[in-house]
Structure 1
C-alpha cells in the first residue's frame, strides 16, 4: 500500500492526462518520423515516467497512442467537451507531415541539403506556402 503522499502508478493500459501531455511534448520536440526517433521519445518518456512513478511503455505503445488519439475524435464533430490535447495532437501531426514532405523534397532534389540546415523562418514559409496552395486548389475546384 503506497504512502498517502505518493501517487499509485497508473495502469499500463490507460494514459493519464499528465502522461499524454508529456508524450505530446516529446513528440513535438523530437518530431519522430522513423523508428529511431520513436525510440528516442521512448527513452525520454521513461525518464519522466520513473520520476513520476508512471508505468514504463514501449516505443510502439507510445506511437500507437499518439497516432490513434487525434483520429479517435476526428470522425466526430468538434465538441467543447473534447480534451484539449486532441487539437494539440492534430497540430503536431500536421507539423510532422509538412516536415517529412519537406525533408523528402530536399533529399530528392539536393543530396547535400539537410532539413536541419534550414532557417526556422524557411520552415514557417513552407508551412504557409502549403496552406496557400491548399486554399488555392480548393478555390479553383469550387
Structure 2
C-alpha cells in the first residue's frame, strides 16, 4: 500500500489492519525493517477458499475507510522518551511502564487499545534494537500466567 508518490504508507497499512480486524479478519501488520517497507501479512488456506469473496469485499471497504482516516502521527515527546531508552539494560518493569504510557494497557501489561495503528506507528519509528526489545517484552506480557 503506497501513498500518492508511490512510497510505502505506514498509516494506510496500519489503518487497513485495524479496519479489517473490526470486520472480523486478522491481517498481521509487519513494521518496516532493514530497508523493507511496512506491509500486511495474510495467510490463505484451502479451508478459507469459500470466504475469499467476503475477504475481498471487506478488504475493499477497509481500504476505503482507511483512506478517509487521518494519518497516524507519532507524539514527538513519546518518541524522544523511547529513543532515550537503552534496550539492553531495560528491566521488564521499565518496559511495562513505557508500554502503559504508550497506550498498551496498564503498567501490569493488561489490556489493548481497540485500534493498534498509533501504537504500531510509534514502534515503527524506533531504532530496530529498541523496537525488537519492546515487542518481545510486550508479547511476553500477554502470555504471563
Q: What TM-score do the two structures reach when normalised by structure 2?
A: 0.31
Structure richer in strand, relative to its length: 2
Q: What TM-score do the two structures reach when normalised by structure 1?
A: 0.31
Query: Which of the pair has the greater relative contact order for Cα pairs under 8 Å at 6+ separation?
Result: 2
Structure richer in helix, relative to its length: 1
Larger radius of gyration: 1
